[in-house]
Structure 1
Amino acid sequence: MRRSFTLALERYGYGVSAAADGFAGLELFREGSFDLLILDVMLPGLDGIGLCRRVRESSLVPVLMMSARGDGLDVVAGLEAGADDYVVKPVETYVLVARIRSLLRRATYPLAPESPSTDERAPSDGEVLVFGDLSIDTAGMEVSVAGSPVALTPTELKLLLEFAARPGVVLERHTLLRDVWEYGWDGDSRVVDLCVQRLRRKVGRERIETVRGFGYKFRR
């Protein structure tokens, strides 16, 4: 499967480095420079979840988790470890490439989301958004709380901007899946819920309110 995906992604123009187990993958990551990581949950040695945690100790690189069970604990554990998204095996190459492209767009332009469902204005280049002690510099792509910088993954950063662009407005999970994760269909809402949890831990739990049965609201 590793060889098959390597060849398929190379045909799409990607440069691919592959490792057969988690410890080899960690060494490869530390020695190289990567735009995105694809981690299989069931890696021998150090599994994909453990590898994701080790990566997140030093890097905000986008991580796509690959799981054999779409409804199992693997998905939740992978997202809690810091993965940005996941796909379920077996997966068609075009689906994998679509998820990769979405993650790379997020990493390249994390503060320039397009939200076709709303006429609300997105923050312009150079604007600094301030909510109490939370500050979002949309030009420098920097977030700080009480003057201290906060390290966010591209997905967390884009999610925060979606909230900050519409404070006080309830955003449904399927809206966030479309605008942040770029799902063209109803995806797994656990991706949203777990990313919101991670974001709350970094910018303050009280800033993002859960509206039961609907979604989330960013406090003004």
Structure 2
Amino acid sequence: MQNIKVGRSGIPAIQKDTVLPSLAVRLTTKVMRLLFIAKMLQYSFISFKLWTPDTDINWIIAYSVIVSIWGFAVWMERSYRNKMNLQPPRCTKIRCSRCNTRKRYPKLFKCKQWVYFLLLFVTLTLFNFVVQLAYTAKEMITSGVDIRYEEKKIGEDEITPLLLLSLATGALIHLMIARTFKNYYLHNGPFETDNETYADEKQSVSEKVII
């Protein structure tokens, strides 16, 4: 059996014979990740230039859904990579309500987390949709097209505050998604009971039954 050294913090230390990727590979991977995040934020916060006054609204809805999936993929990969890099691999709090909920009610814990993800996904999709509509309406007003709501003409002064509020809300939603994924992976890994580390709840329960 391979011996694994553990550091003072309880995190497995890197072995001397571990083969690390070359500097060029690591830099290329990091640049690609940053580019992937930058493009996602660009399509989330900047107008998509292909929209026209004649564009079907269903295309904007589909665009919003795709960008939301992209955003979720970015923050999910980042949180999972941080966990695999042991930063840290699991929650280390002595008293944690999430850890207690997961140990006592594992199904409830996962159900609550997926409900949070669903609500955040719907909210992010709505944000992307509103942002693209606001940008399109602003460009239409700039080009001289009249936009009316209940016989009232809407000007650029009404669109700009809505756009700024939507952008600020979108930034907050992205932060919430990143934090939710971080908490999910920190509390979805191995946990300790009675000085033993188990991969999941079923393993710990079976061990106790055998004992």
Q: With structure 1 as the length reference, what TM-score do the two structures score?
A: 0.23
Higher relative contact order (CA 8 A, sep 6+): 2
More strand by share: 1
Bigger Cα Rg: 2
Q: With structure 2 as the length reference, what TM-score do the two structures score?
A: 0.23
